[in-house]
Amino acid sequence: KEGNAVSLIQSIYYPFGSGVVVGDTGIILQNRGAYFSLDEKHVNRLEPHKRTLHTLSPLMVFKDQRPFLVMGTMGGDGQPQTHMQVISNIIDFGMDVQESIEAPRWVSTSFKTNQHYADILMMEKRFPQNVLSKLESMGHKVSYVEEWSQMMGHAQAIMVKKNGKAIYGGADPRGDSAAFGW
């Protein structure tokens, strides 16, 4: 009615966070600190009074100063990459919100902050073989992941069109997810 929008991401990092429950509250403490590096030269090294790097990034795209796309995703270092791919699919390739979320996805692990993988381009097997072969011939270290792999993140989005009169939701089949709008 008023055109308000919210994108919210709640995370405890690993599936059961730290595994520590606060008293009898049922509240599980997060373990985002596991993302710190013990390498003293690493940009994300463990040190006093420092927050660990994270990629939690709720997203809103505005068009004509009104909400156009509200989105969130999980997936660690892949979160901003998933955002970019979904936005590009919608704006550059004219896909609807669900189609853009279901499109084949890739995640690069070539960032200096990443300590879990080393310089790998992970790609879903749904990409055409000629794309995968071309990337390998250019020297990329490509790792193929299964179709609809959870390693590619889970995106949820709401697209608002026609001056807020039409709301479209998209939810990722790669995991349990939902998008709500009214």
The segment with the largest mean pLDDT, out of 79-93, 114-128, 149-163, is 79-93
Residue 37 has pLDDT above 70, yes or no: yes
CB atoms within 10 A of CB 10: 7
Q: Which CATH number is correct for 55-171, 3.30.1360.200, 2.30.29.30, 3.40.50.460, 3.60.20.40?
A: 3.60.20.40
- Residue ranges per structural domain of the chain: 55-171
Report the distance separating Cα 160 and Cα 158, nearest Å.
7
Q: Taking Cα atoms as reference points, which of 80, 66, 71 lies closest to residue 113? A: 80
The pTM (predicted TM-score) of the whole model is 0.83
- 48 C-beta neighbours (distance < 10 Å), count: 4
Look at residue 1 in the predicted model and tell me its pLDDT: 65
pLDDT digits (tens, 9 = 90+) for 81-101: 999 999 999 999 999 999 999
The pLDDT of 58-85, averaged and rounded, is: 91
pLDDT for the residue 128: 92
7-21, 97-111, 160-174, range with greatest mean pLDDT: 97-111
